[in-house]
Structure 1
Amino acid sequence: VDKMSLFMMYSTILTELGITVFDNQKCVKTFPFENPAEEYVLVKKGQAKLAEIGKFL
């Protein structure tokens, strides 16, 4: 039996308020920041802990 892998391609948008995940043009999940000013800067610097979004993707 041939097993076929299914891969999903999502678009992610970073805003000052959080991260949003889209499938085509449909919003499928949002990850709002608890402390927007601090967390936005950490994401931009690559220093944020993004475990929740990592599990989702």
Structure 2
Amino acid sequence: MKYVSASEILPEYLLHEIQKYVHGSVLYIPSPKEAQKKVGADFGAERVSAEAKFRD
């Protein structure tokens, strides 16, 4: 995750709307639920776990 200035990516009207609630703070915006991966998915943890079940 990298830092990106909101003024560089958000439309001005949206930036002003957000500034009504947050002033000069770092704001984390999570990915949509459908775009999130399960923990360990990038490392093949689920595949390794499934293979371990078959070995037992």
The structure that is helix-richer by fraction is: 2
TM-score when normalising by structure 2: 0.26
- The structure showing larger relative contact order (alpha-carbon pairs under 8 Å, at least 6 residues apart) is 1
TM-score when normalising by structure 1: 0.25
The structure that is strand-richer by fraction is: 1
